[in-house]
């Protein structure tokens, strides 16, 4: 399974005086089982791009191929896209509406025509993936849960449809550190289990560096950089120019370099920074 995006352009309110060129000639490939992190300042087009990948928005120009299907082809059935590509919106907990957690998770699979007995097995399976206890939460109202739990229920509802591509728009936004950590662990667990493509947006550069195989950088509707976390975060000055930062550990090493202290290139994680500092101090 792979994704190819070619010459993708999107204009909001085309022909109107306040029309907005939100995506401009975007091209990229995503390969089997990749985890892709998307970064970019607010308004750079991240959410617009994600909504094209599951057919919610139609491009002005360009094509998107998911697996063997060109989902941008005229009359391509939406239902078939939804089966393949699951999109979790920002603050998805606001969209919970059923009486119980189980019914909420069952909603998507039912709509896709999954058989009833399979749906119940799947509810158990996805609750486990998002680290919630079936016996404890299945019959509860989603509104009785904490913020972080609600978000995990909403994500479980998308996972229940077995998407081969899982897209998460700012999945950790607004969560406390504990809930934040549990979402990151969940992403890794889901990826290990489902071997799917995962695409997520985050403003937390450390999370992006830790989770992603590939990082895509958006600026003013354009895809301006694509590479491994190491390749991307080796370009601090370019990132700073477009209002973005490097992870804290990389930032520290850059600051030492700025101060004339010799440090290796390509330091991204805390562990690498620690090793680099240790080596420097030992040599001194």
For ligand ADP, the closer CB: 46 or 162 = 46
Residues 27-46 that bind Mg ion (CB under 5 A): 46
Which region among 47-55, 106-114, 206-214, 226-234 touches Mg ion (by CB under 5 A)?
Answer: 47-55
Task: Give me the phi and psi of 24, to 5 degrees please.
Answer: -130, 110
Please, what is the minimum distance in Å from the beta carbon of residue 137 to ligand ADP?
Answer: 30
12 is a site residue for ligand ADP (CB under 6 A): yes
For ligand ADP, the closer CB: 47 or 72 = 47
Please, what is the minimum distance in Å from the beta carbon of residue 220 to ligand ADP?
Answer: 8
For Mg ion, the closer CB: 72 or 202 = 202
Applying CB under 5 A, what is the total number of residues that bind Mg ion? 2
Cα-Cα-Cα-Cα torsion 158, 160, 161, 163, nearest 10 degrees, comes to 70
47 is a site residue for Mg ion (CB under 5 A): yes
Which of these, 94, 101, 207, 108, lies nearest to 147 by C-alpha position?
A: 94
**CB distance 145 to 137 below 8 Å:** yes
What's the rounded Cα separation, in Å, for the pair 34 and 213? 6
Which region among 12-20, 109-117, 146-154, 182-190 touches ligand ADP (by CB under 6 A)?
Answer: 12-20
Please, what is the minimum distance in Å from the beta carbon of residue 30 to ligand ADP?
Answer: 18
What's the rounded Cα separation, in Å, for the pair 211 and 189? 11
Please, what is the minimum distance in Å from the beta carbon of residue 70 to Mg ion?
Answer: 25
- Out of ligand ADP, Mg ion, none, what residue 149 binds, judged by CB under 5 to 8 A for its kind, is none
For tokens 């390749």, name the residue: 231
202 is a site residue for ligand ADP (CB under 6 A): no
Please, what is the minimum distance in Å from the beta carbon of residue 46 to Mg ion?
Answer: 5
Which of these, 168, 204, 163, 206, lies nearest to 186 by C-alpha position?
A: 168
Please, what is the minimum distance in Å from the beta carbon of residue 47 to ligand ADP?
Answer: 3
**Residues 17-56: x where in contact with ligand ADP by CB under 6 A, - otherwise, as a string:** ---x-x-----------------x-xxxxxxx--------
Q: How many CA atoms lie within 13 A of 238 on its CB side?
A: 11
Q: How many CA atoms lie within 13 A of 261 on its CB side?
A: 14
Q: Which positions lie near ligand ADP, rule CB under 6 A?
A: 12-13, 20, 22, 40, 42-48
The residue ranges that bind Mg ion (CB under 5 A) are 46-47
């Amino acid at each position: 399974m792979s994704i190819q995006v070619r010459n993708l352009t999107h204009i909001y309110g085309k022909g109107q005086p306040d029309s907005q060129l939100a995506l401009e000639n975007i091209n990229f490939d995503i390969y089997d089982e990749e985890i892709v992190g998307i970064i970019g300042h607010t308004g750079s087009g991240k959410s617009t791009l994600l909504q094209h990948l599951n057919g919610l928005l139609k491009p002005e120009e360009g094509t998107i191929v998911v697996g063997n299907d060109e989902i941008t082809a005229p009359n391509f059935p939406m239902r078939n896209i939804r089966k393949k590509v699951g999109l979790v919106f920002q603050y998805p907990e606001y969209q919970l509406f059923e009486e119980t957690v189980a019914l909420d998770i069952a909603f998507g699979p039912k709509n896709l025509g999954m058989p009833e007995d399979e749906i119940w097995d799947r509810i158990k399976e996805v609750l486990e993936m998002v680290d919630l206890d079936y016996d404890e939460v299945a019959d509860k109202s989603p509104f009785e849960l904490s913020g972080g739990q609600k978000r995990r229920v909403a994500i479980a509802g998308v996972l229940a449809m077995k998407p081969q591509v899982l897209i998460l728009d700012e999945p950790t936004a607004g969560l406390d550190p504990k809930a934040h950590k549990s979402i990151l662990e969940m992403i890794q667990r889901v990826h290990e289990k489902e071997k799917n493509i995962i695409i997520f947006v985050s403003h937390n550069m450390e999370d992006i560096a830790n989770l992603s195989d590939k990082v895509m950088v958006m600026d003013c509707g354009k895809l301006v950089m694509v590479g491994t976390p190491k390749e991307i975060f080796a370009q601090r000055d370019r990132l700073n120019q477009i209002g973005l930062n490097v992870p804290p550990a990389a930032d520290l090493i850059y600051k030492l370099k700025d101060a004339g202290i010799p440090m290796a290139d390509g330091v991204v994680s805390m562990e690498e920074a620690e090793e680099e500092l240790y080596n420097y101090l030992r040599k001194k």
